[in-house]
């Protein structure tokens, strides 16, 4: 079991700034994804004891809008929104920030990601909180929780974990109208997963006959979520750049018969 470094979060009420840092056992690209992709954000941002993010939308690009909705532990709802000011994937992200729990007052949040192939140091700066000491202190505590949730999501405390990988094709009718080039690409895809199955990394894989459109599924064992993302990044269909996209779900338990 690996030990996690604690999240550092400090409020400078005189300058109206919150500065928070955390070390995450994941590559910068995967941290950036977790911060921006809606299907990921709603899985990790929140807890039953505090609040849960229930919806997240983000138009990636300078000037793009982002908006979120959530529900507090007492059942009340909240919203936050803003515009993106800087997008340098995967090293920097800045956005204006307005939330209804803060009276809709404007502030700015910056993320800076520095890392290697295995670790990312995430630094967050929430500024333009001058003359608002209570809000500054509240945001410092809030970001401490948020970065802790993000850290746990990307690198759960376990020597081995299992993950369900969903492969979304570039179009709903992909399985019905594949071109000859796409047929050849899928053969490489299945060959890749057959190798992982033989190695014991993959537990199972195959297509799912969803009435809304066929998609692929795989169950893998990995030390952490970042390792699962590495597996997807190496899939020939992802490397092809043809519009395939993976979603990853952690599995707290994997029940298997002998």
Q: Could you give the CA distance from residue 70 to residue 90 in angstroms, rounded to a whole number?
A: 26
Domain CATH for 27: 3.30.530.20
| DSSP H/E element including 85 | strand 77-88
Is residue 218 in a domain? yes
Same domain, 51 and 150: yes
pLDDT per position as a tens digit, 20-32: 999 998 999 999 9
Same domain, 173 and 140: no
Q: Could you give the CA distance from residue 19 to residue 110 in angstroms, rounded to a whole number?
A: 10
Is residue 257 in a domain? no
Same domain, 123 and 193: no
Is residue 70 in a domain? yes
Same domain, 138 and 187: no
146: confidence class by pLDDT, cuts 50, 70, 90: very high
Same domain, 41 and 105: yes
pTM tops 0.75, yes or no: no
Which residues are CB-neighbours of 12 under 8 A, at least 6 positions away?
A: 18, 19, 136
Which residues are CB-neighbours of 255 under 8 A, at least 6 positions away?
A: none
Domain boundary among 85, 119, 154: 154
Domain boundary among 121, 154, 187: 154
Same domain, 122 and 242: no
Cβ atoms within 10 Å of 101's Cβ, excluding its own: 15
2: confidence class by pLDDT, cuts 50, 70, 90: very low
Give the residue carrying structure tokens 């502030």: 107
Q: Which domain holds residue 166?
A: 161-251
Q: What is the mean pLDDT of the chain?
A: 92
Report the pLDDT value the prediction gives residue 18, as an integer from 0 to 100: 98
Domain boundary among 139, 154, 169: 154
3: confidence class by pLDDT, cuts 50, 70, 90: very low
Same domain, 133 and 16: yes
Q: Could you give the CA distance from residue 96 to residue 241 in angstroms, rounded to a whole number?
A: 31
Give the residue carrying structure tokens 């395939």: 244
Same domain, 183 and 234: yes
- Is a pLDDT exceeding 50 seen at residue 177? yes
Same domain, 134 and 167: no
Under 8 Å between Cβ of 65 and 74:
no
């Amino acid at each position: 079991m690996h030990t996690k470094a604690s999240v550092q979060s400090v409020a400078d009420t005189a300058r109206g700034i919150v500065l928070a840092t955390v070390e995450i056992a994941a590559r910068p690209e995967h941290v950036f994804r977790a911060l921006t992709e809606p299907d990921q954000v709603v899985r990790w941002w929140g807890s039953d004891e505090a609040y849960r993010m229930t919806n997240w939308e983000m138009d990636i690009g300078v000037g793009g809008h982002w908006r979120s909705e959530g529900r507090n532990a007492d059942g009340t709802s909240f919203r936050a929104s803003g515009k993106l000011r800087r997008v340098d994937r995967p090293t920097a992200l800045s956005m204006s920030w307005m939330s209804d729990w803060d009276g809709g007052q404007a502030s700015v949040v910056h993320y800076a990601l520095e890392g290697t192939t295995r670790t990312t140091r995430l630094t967050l700066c929430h500024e333009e909180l001058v003359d608002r000491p209570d809000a500054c202190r509240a945001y410092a505590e809030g970001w401490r929780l948020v970065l802790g949730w993000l850290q746990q999501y990307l690198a759960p405390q376990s020597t081995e974990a299992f993950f369900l990988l969903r492969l979304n094709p570039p179009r709903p009718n992909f399985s019905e109208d594949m071109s000859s080039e796409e047929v050849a690409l899928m053969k490489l895809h299945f060959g890749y997963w057959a190798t992982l199955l033989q190695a014991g990394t993959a537990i199972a894989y195959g297509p799912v006959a969803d009435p809304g459109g066929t998609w692929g599924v795989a169950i893998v064992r990995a030390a952490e979520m970042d390792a699962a993302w590495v597996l997807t990044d190496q899939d020939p269909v992802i490397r092809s750049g043809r519009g395939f996209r993976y979603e990853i779900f952690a599995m707290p338990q994997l029940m298997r018969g002998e």
